Chains A and B, each alone.
Chain A
Amino acid sequence: MSHILSALVFFPALAGILGFVVDKKSAKAYGIAVAAVEFLLSIWLWISFDGSNAGMQFTEYVPIIAQFGISYNLGVDGISLFIVIMATMITLLGIILLREDTPNMKNMIVSLLFLEMTMVGVFVSLDAIVFYLFWELSLVPMLYIIGAWGGPTRVYAAVKFFLYTFAGSLIMLVGLLAMAYLYNLEAGVWSFNILDWYKLQLTADQQFWLFLAFFAGFAIKVPMFPFHTWLPHAHGQAPTIGSVILAAVLLKMGTYGFVRFSLPILPDASVDFTPFIMVLSLIMVVYTAMVAFAQKDMKQVIAYSSVSHMGIIMIGVFAMNAEGLGGSIFLMLSHGIVSGALFMLVGVIYERRGTKLMSEFGGLAATMPIYATVFGVMLMASVGLPLTIGFVGEFLVLLGFYKVSVIGTIIAGSTIIIGSIYMLALFKKSFFGPVTNEKNFGLKDLDARELTALLPLVAIVVWLGVYPKPVLEPIDNSVKKLLVQMEEHAQFPSTKDAIIISKKEAE
């Protein structure tokens, strides 16, 4: 099937449009069915994916605005493949976890399906304008999900989320237009094809400004310190499903953008900016971890810890070597799964008690043993315990970063300790000890619906923690290709030195 990517992108949107006709009461079942088909499609993509081919596969090309060089251009490689699969999986499990009595269920399902289209679209676009199109469109359903089903100040949070990211991406758009213009000067034709841009030689000055323009768009999305202030609001107000998708998939758009755009197109500027990004990332890692420790609300703890882990991903991306970059791609997946699961778990307890404050809980392990177990597994994965999914990525990132900066690695590594402090503190306060609050007596443990959503995630956490090879290998191939490309493309010897590729391994 040569058009599998188009099918993956537009199937949910089409299903979303048809979903308007489906009866309200059957909306959830419809949503699950569609998301399951989409998930199976993405699994099929994985099966038919050639793991040894590091380049773009399943490419599709249709010109949209020929004379302006905009074309519908899709393709997938080892870097984007698993993010796509994760996105479809998280959407499916998120829909399963939706409560039957969610108000306006049909609107929710339709928005989620549109959101799924944009998420898949962003990760498989090879044309900058098509990428931008899905990137911006993803804001609209998310705005609606936060604004319609969120907490008391949901409208403020939703609008802040929208405007913050919208402003950043408009600057990015100017960068994209400038790229196309420079390409036109060089090659004589207009092109927004990212793969064409990989070949473009730019001066240091041009790269500097373009890097800043891209940075505005991507850093807000990640969100890098100090642009992270929209995220706690969004998480604080979003409904469970909103937080799950936001943390698991939408934030990855930012880091993916750095990997797909900034590094290969602007290798010299990326190397020049590395110290700056590293400092921001280290601040982000340590600072948000500390902020997480100070939170009283369980969801905020997880929100800040998720930001903190995004910092580790950023460190890996800018380590510029196969271990760091590959590790950070893997960490994107594990972060998606783990933080997605943690937000689901917080949602579960919130549904039962109507509060997320840690002080309200205590001794939950006694009343809800299965819940406590699942939470415990996810928590261990989050702090990066060996044999869980979190360990693999974090270890690789730190290994890669060690080659760049030893002190930095020590600082970044310290967050594993801070991370385990606040996570274990959360776990201790909520789950252990005697049951102090009498409202917690007789809380129901996880039911079938919640187990269906959560157990696959637990299985993946353990499976990929023990045996990550099937996923790591395609990632590694594509990452090495990306680094080779970067090194060839780089103009200054200092850049080439900075891009450490274990060439022997590659050969």
Chain B
Amino acid sequence: MLEPVNISLAELNLVTLMPMLIAIAGGLIVLTIDLIKENLHKSLYVMLTILILLIDLGATVGLQYNERGFFDVMLIDGVAILSQIIILIASMLFIPLALTSKRFHEYSYPEFFALFMFMIAGFQFMVSSDNLILIFVGLETASLSLYTLIALHNRHNSFEAAVKYFTMGALAAGFYSMGAAILYGISGSLELYQIAEAIQGRMDEAGMMILILGGAGFLLASFAFKLSLFPFHTWAPDVYEGASAPLAGYMSVVPKVAAFVVSMRIFEMFIELGIEWVQVAILVLAVVTMTIANIMALVQEDVKRMLAYSSISHAGFVMAAIALATTKANTGIFLYYGLFMFTNLGAFAMLWVSRHKHRIHHARYDHPYEKFSGMIKIMPIGAVVMALFMLSLAGVPPFSVFWGKIYLMSAAVDAGYVWLAIVMGLNSAIAAYYYLKLIVYMFLKEPTGQVNEATVYYNVSTPLMTILGFAVFVTVGSMFYVDPLLEYITEMIKISGIGFN
């Protein structure tokens, strides 16, 4: 007979659940409104979503640091708060992109917005827990919603993308549960800190290393899928291509930030325990990912696919920081994604502006390079804006991504990995070529036949312009806010106590 457990409400510390509950409630509100009155315009849902996310952000910022709650499965440390802030801001940037001048199928369903908020709740759970089950639940909630969101972009390659992503995601989920099961087998616990203790204690036992190897290996494979690291990256370009442009931009930031936070918690635990091969494996994955993805990006004919490969390469770049496992490297991860988010979303939003319902430029691609040729003559401001995003992605100073880049490279140098910093530098040089290719098309070539003002401005609207303007502002003015941002992030990372000093 089990003893009944008494837990008071205060002990549950339900306030730690507030942010996710707000997002879930928001989703339910959207569904309820739809139930009461049909055929409301999408702008209502967009604004409602923004407001709910704003409240969510407020609740997140207001959380106490280093609290546990809800049967101790929730862990609100600096990393959790930081990543939730990034997730929420990226979501708020993304959602107004639904207000295009042309009508796109998916946004007329209120379910889109409900699913979107459930997905955010899922990601929030994922980043604010160190319990392997809750991480899994969050991951799956978010992923299942995301598959549906992709498929809602009603074209046959979006279905393909959704199914592809779903199958790959299912495989990754399988790997994850195998890995988690092995760790449970070693330690009898699902809490990461208890697992760490157990591994520490049993590390010298015979045959234990093989188990740890298996557990970490499965988990690494699973997150390599989510982060689109080589050799598990093959789904990414197709999925990005099938999804609508802003959603692709969103996918290159938010799911990755969430996955990076979990990888940080899991793999840096292994590294701190002194299990070296995890570090080596991550380094190899990171270097190979950034290089292979860069080389693949060079040969793409479609800008969206190029950007997809480029964001894989950026993910590889950041993954190297996980292997370093220092406070500075972890700070670099958030600085990088905090800055990259605006630039990359901006670049994808530029594709969205020129998105046409039919493929008028190329039989196979929506956004071939030719579409942008001579853009400076047709849409000068658009061309300059896109060029700024490209230069920023290439890491040309003083644009935003440059600061993330040097901070990560500097972290590599500090940790004694000068070769890694050089590899990162050389990869940035390779990457410059394909970003430059787009600039060359926009500035140095003549417009082709079908390109004119009507086709490039096809989808533009005031909300899109506002978001783009904001993204440009953040990209160009980075020099002035990097200092306080860096200070805040460093503070938060130090509070969390993840990584070596």
Since A67-B487, A171-B426 are in contact, a sample of 5 more A-B pairs with Cβ atoms closer than 8 Å, ordered by chain A residue number, is: A64-B479, A140-B391, A159-B437, A173-B409, A173-B425
The interface bits of chain B over 412-447 (1 if a CB of A lies within 8 angstroms of the residue's CB, else 0) are: 011000100110011011001100110110011100
In the complex, what residues of B have CB within 8 A of residue A63's CB?
483
Q: Contact: B421 with A133, CB < 8 Å?
A: no
Does more than half of chain A's interface fall in helix, strand or loop, or is it mixed? helix
The interface bits of chain A over 124-155 (1 if a CB of B lies within 8 angstroms of the residue's CB, else 0) are: 00000100110011011001100110000011
A-B CB contact pairs (8 Å), 5 listed: A144-B443, A148-B444, A154-B444, A159-B440, A173-B406
Q: Contact: A170 with B479, CB < 8 Å?
A: no
- Tell me if B486 is interfacial: C-beta within 8 Å of chain A: yes
In the complex, what residues of A have CB within 8 A of residue B482's CB?
64-65
Q: Which of A64, A162, A180 contacts B483 (CB 8 A)?
A: A64
Q: Contact: A159 with B436, CB < 8 Å?
A: yes
Which 4 pairs between the two chains have the least Cβ-Cβ distance?
A: A170-B425, A167-B429, A133-B397, A147-B444
Q: Contact: B444 with A158, CB < 8 Å?
A: yes
In the complex, what residues of B have CB within 8 A of residue A170's CB?
425-426, 428-429
Q: Contact: B490 with A67, CB < 8 Å?
A: yes
Q: Contact: B421 with A177, CB < 8 Å?
A: yes
Q: Contact: B426 with A167, CB < 8 Å?
A: yes
In the complex, what residues of B have CB within 8 A of residue A143's CB?
436, 439
Q: Contact: B407 with A68, CB < 8 Å?
A: yes
In the complex, what residues of A have CB within 8 A of residue B490's CB?
67
Does more than half of chain B's interface fall in helix, strand or loop, or is it mixed? helix
- Tell me if B396 is interfacial: C-beta within 8 Å of chain A: yes
The interface bits of chain A over 347-380 (1 if a CB of B lies within 8 angstroms of the residue's CB, else 0) are: 0000000000000000000000000000000000
Q: Which of A132, A174, A181 contacts B414 (CB 8 A)?
A: A181
CB distance from B243 to the nearest CB of A (A): 31
Q: A68-B407, A147-B440 are in contact. Are A178 and B486 (CB under 8 A)?
A: no
Q: Which of B376, B406, B410, B432 contacts A162 (CB 8 A)?
A: B432
Q: Contact: A66 with B483, CB < 8 Å?
A: yes
**In the complex, chain A residues 368-419 whose Cβ is within 8 Å of any chain B Cβ:** none
**In the complex, chain A residues 180-198 whose Cβ is within 8 Å of any chain B Cβ:** 180-181
Q: Which of B433, B439, B444, B483 contacts A65 (CB 8 A)?
A: B483
In the complex, what residues of B have CB within 8 A of residue A148's CB?
443-444
Q: Which of B376, B403, B413 contacts A178 (CB 8 A)?
A: B413
Q: Which of B413, B433, B436 contacts A174 (CB 8 A)?
A: B413
Q: Contact: A137 with B444, CB < 8 Å?
A: no
- Tell me if A58 is interfacial: C-beta within 8 Å of chain B: no
Q: Contact: A68 with B486, CB < 8 Å?
A: yes
Q: Contact: A174 with B486, CB < 8 Å?
A: no
Q: Contact: A174 with B418, CB < 8 Å?
A: yes
- Tell me if A163 is interfacial: C-beta within 8 Å of chain B: yes
In the complex, what residues of A have CB within 8 A of residue B483's CB?
63-68
- Tell me if B185 is interfacial: C-beta within 8 Å of chain A: no
In the complex, what residues of A have CB within 8 A of residue B422's CB?
171, 174
In the complex, what residues of B have CB within 8 A of residue A227's CB?
none
Q: A67-B490, A132-B397, A173-B406 are in contact. Are A162 and B436 (CB under 8 A)?
A: yes
- Tell me if A287 is interfacial: C-beta within 8 Å of chain B: no
- Tell me if B231 is interfacial: C-beta within 8 Å of chain A: no
Q: Name the residue of chain A whose CB is nearest to the CB of B409.
A: A177
In the complex, what residues of A have CB within 8 A of residue B413's CB?
174, 177-178, 181
Q: Contact: B421 with A174, CB < 8 Å?
A: yes
CB distance from B417 to the nearest CB of A (A): 11
Q: Which of A67, A129, A139, A163 contacts B406 (CB 8 A)?
A: A129
- Tell me if A46 is interfacial: C-beta within 8 Å of chain B: no
Q: A133-B398, A174-B421, A178-B418 are in contact. Are A163 and B436 (CB under 8 A)?
A: yes
Q: A67-B490, A167-B426 are in contact. Are A177 and B444 (CB under 8 A)?
A: no
CB distance from A193 to the nearest CB of B (A): 16
In the complex, what residues of A have CB within 8 A of residue B397's CB?
129, 132-133, 136-137
Q: Contact: B396 with A140, CB < 8 Å?
A: yes
CB distance from B51 to the nearest CB of A (A): 34
Complexed CA–CA distance, A139 and B395 (Å): 13
CB distance from A158 to the nearest CB of B (A): 7
- Tell me if A166 is interfacial: C-beta within 8 Å of chain B: yes
Q: Contact: A159 with B409, CB < 8 Å?
A: no
Complexed CA–CA distance, A137 and B376 (Å): 20
Q: Which of B398, B410, B425, B443 contacts A147 (CB 8 A)?
A: B443
Complexed CA–CA distance, A258 and B75 (Å): 52
Q: Name the residue of chain A whose CB is nearest to the CB of B482.
A: A65
CB distance from A304 to the nearest CB of B (A): 26
In the complex, what residues of B have CB within 8 A of residue A132's CB?
397
Complexed CA–CA distance, A163 and B436 (Å): 9
**In the complex, chain B residues 456-489 whose Cβ is within 8 Å of any chain A Cβ:** 479, 482-483, 486-487
Which of B398, B425, B440 counts the most A-chain CB atoms under 10 A from its CB?
B425
In the complex, what residues of B have CB within 8 A of residue A133's CB?
397-398
In the complex, what residues of A have CB within 8 A of residue B440's CB?
147, 155, 158-159
Q: Name the residue of chain B whose CB is nearest to the CB of A165.
A: B429
Complexed CA–CA distance, A158 and B391 (Å): 15
CB distance from B337 to the nearest CB of A (A): 18
CB distance from A234 to the nearest CB of B (A): 15
In the complex, what residues of A have CB within 8 A of residue B429's CB?
163, 166-167, 170
Complexed CA–CA distance, A472 and B162 (Å): 71
CB distance from A212 to the nearest CB of B (A): 11
In the complex, what residues of B have CB within 8 A of residue A140's CB?
391, 396
Q: Name the residue of chain A whose CB is nearest to the CB of B445.
A: A155
CB distance from A27 to the nearest CB of B (A): 14
The interface bits of chain B over 182-214 (1 if a CB of A lies within 8 angstroms of the residue's CB, else 0) are: 000000000000000000000000000000000
